[in-house]
């Protein structure tokens, strides 16, 4: 099935000129799609064109089927895709606007030991229009339009590994930053990877000023292999080299994510080794207290130990914060809500 939000303005122009439509039509439709409009609501198009579009394209690739609002204002969304698959996303309110966390795949095949998204494996990749569709739907839901966006920042930190779906993610970045559409700058977009090294080199060459975030979770290869299977393919040294290359080419500092797991990666030895690894490198470390997923049996580090861990890094001059935990009362962790939904259905 063809999804209307998959197409760039240039591609739409080609399709519509094939329909015998005037030149301006493509931009008109592209803008309407980026406003989150359905074909039936594009009342400035003639009925025969609307009907033809309806027959040939999907106009709601990510339908919101559930919205949960946390006490802290965080919202969690369940989206139904055109083929019945379910994905989830989160919307966080900050002083400067809304940051939306989107999924890049249905499920995930990376197998990280602590993560709910990977429990059922990978179902399929999302297309660029499905990744974008999550933003278009939520922006519309909270009252945004193209002149006044509500969603200002996007993080690719929902279900899936963005670099396991590289081409669609790059197409998504081009679509979302198109000045005729929703026009969110790559500077306001963060891509989080478990550390697929060749793709980290590739993205450095794309000339797209995104924020690169790397999930490290341990400074020791042996330990990292136990919690992140991708570490068997790429050593920490290779990951850090790819980060250095990213910085050298883009001049953008790299972010590291480090989820603190009780007794696994939260010792002083780990903190010291992490300092040694990152010394002198322009980066920022986000410490995250593990969001415990019942199936994994892993627990979060307590507040006191998390503070101690942070202090060790700070004392070595490393830029570090403990990420505020948001939406814990609404299954905030990656993949938890979708699992709950699928469990209920079975």
Is residue 30 within 8 Å of 180, Cβ to Cβ? yes
Q: Is residue 33 a contact residue for ligand SAH (CB under 6 A)?
A: no
271 CB burial (10 A radius; 0-12, 13-18, 19+): buried
Query: Exactly one of 21, 88, 137, 264 is catalytic; which is it?
Result: 88
* 48-77 residues near ligand SAH, rule: CB under 6 A: none
Judged by CB under 6 A, the residue of 293, 310, 318, 330 near ligand SAH is 293
295 as an active site residue: the answer is: no
SS3 track for 51-90: HHHHHHEECCCCEEEEEEECCCCCEEEEEECCCCCEEEEE
Residue 205 CA to residue 208 CA, distance in Å, equals: 8
Query: Exactly one of 108, 194, 270, 334 is catalytic; which is it?
Result: 334
Residue 322 CA to residue 325 CA, distance in Å, equals: 9
How many DSSP H helices and E strands does the chain contain? 11, 14
Judged by CB under 6 A, the residue of 175, 288, 318, 337 near ligand SAH is 288
Q: Is residue 157 a contact residue for ligand SAH (CB under 6 A)?
A: yes
Q: Choose between 128 and 259: whose C-beta lies nearer to ligand SAH.
A: 259
Largest CA distance in the chain: 68
Question: Per CB under 6 A, which region of 4-12, 34-42, 192-200, 275-283 contacts ligand SAH?
Answer: 192-200
Q: Is residue 211 a contact residue for ligand SAH (CB under 6 A)?
A: no
Q: How far is the CB of 60 from ligand SAH (least distance, A)?
A: 25
Residues 6 or more apart in contact with residue 22 via CB below 8 angstroms: none
β-strand pairing of 189-193 with 211-215: parallel
334 as an active site residue: the answer is: yes
Query: H or E stretch including 236?
Result: helix 236-250
Is residue 277 within 8 Å of 318, Cβ to Cβ? no
Q: How far is the CB of 237 from ligand SAH (least distance, A)?
A: 19
Q: Is residue 193 a contact residue for ligand SAH (CB under 6 A)?
A: yes
Q: Choose between 157 and 275: whose C-beta lies nearer to ligand SAH.
A: 157
β-strand pairing of 75-80 with 63-69: antiparallel
Q: How far is the CB of 286 from ligand SAH (least distance, A)?
A: 8
Q: Is residue 331 a contact residue for ligand SAH (CB under 6 A)?
A: no
Q: Choose between 13 and 74: whose C-beta lies nearer to ligand SAH.
A: 74
Q: How far is the CB of 289 from ligand SAH (least distance, A)?
A: 7
Is residue 329 within 8 Å of 71, Cβ to Cβ? yes
Strand ranges for 60-206 from DSSP E = 63-69, 75-80, 86-94, 97-101, 105-107, 122-125, 151-156, 189-193
Q: How far is the CB of 288 from ligand SAH (least distance, A)?
A: 5
Question: Binding marks (x or -) toward ligand SAH, 254..273, rule CB under 6 A?
Answer: ---x-x--------------
Q: How far is the CB of 335 from ligand SAH (least distance, A)?
A: 7
Question: Per CB under 6 A, which region of 47-55, 62-70, 145-153, 286-294 contacts ligand SAH?
Answer: 286-294
Is residue 236 within 8 Å of 277, Cβ to Cβ? yes
Which residues of the chain form contacts with ligand SAH (CB under 6 A)?
110, 112, 114-115, 157, 161, 192-194, 215, 257, 259, 288, 290-291, 293, 333-334
Name the residues annotated as catalytic. 88, 334
């Amino acid at each position: 099935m063809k999804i209307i939000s998959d197409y760039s303005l240039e591609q739409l122009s080609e399709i519509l000129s094939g329909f015998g439509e005037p030149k301006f039509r493509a931009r008109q439709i592209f803008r309407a799609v980026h406003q989150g409009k359905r074909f039936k609501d594009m009342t400035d198009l003639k009925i025969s064109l609307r009907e033809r579009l309806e027959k040939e394209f999907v106009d709601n690739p990510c339908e919101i089927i559930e919205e949960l609002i946390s006490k802290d204002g965080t919202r969690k969304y369940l989206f139904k895709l055109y083929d019945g698959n379910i994905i989830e996303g989160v919307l966080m309110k900050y002083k400067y606007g809304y940051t939306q966390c989107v999924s890049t795949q249905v499920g995930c095949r990376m197998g990280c030991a602590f993560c709910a998204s990977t429990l059922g494996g990978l179902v399929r990749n999302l297309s660029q229009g499905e990744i974008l569709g999550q933003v278009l739907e939520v922006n519309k839901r909270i009252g945004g339009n193209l002149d006044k966006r509500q969603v200002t920042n996007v993080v690719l930190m929902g279900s899936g590994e963005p670099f396991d779906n590289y081409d669609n993610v790059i197409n998504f970045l081009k679509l979302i930053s198109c000045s005729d559409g929703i026009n969110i700058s790559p500077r306001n977009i963060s891509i989080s990877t478990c550390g697929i090294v060749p793709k980290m080199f590739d993205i450095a060459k794309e000339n797209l000023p995104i924020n690169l975030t790397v999930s490290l979770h341990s400074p020791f290869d042996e330990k990292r292999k136990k919690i992140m299977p991708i570490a068997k393919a790429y050593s920490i040294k290779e990951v850090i080299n790819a980060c250095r290359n990213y910085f050298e080419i883009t001049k953008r500092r790299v972010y590291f994510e480090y989820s603190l797991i009780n007794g696994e990666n939260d010792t002083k030895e780990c903190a010291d080794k992490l300092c040694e690894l990152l010394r002198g490198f322009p980066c920022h470390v986000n410490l995250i207290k593990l969001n415990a997923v019942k199936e994994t049996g892993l627990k979060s580090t307590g507040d006191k130990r998390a503070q101690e861990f942070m202090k060790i890094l700070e004392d070595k001059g490393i830029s570090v914060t403990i990420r505020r935990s948001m939406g814990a009362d609404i299954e905030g962790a990656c993949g938890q809500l979708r699992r709950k939904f699928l469990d209920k259905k079975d």
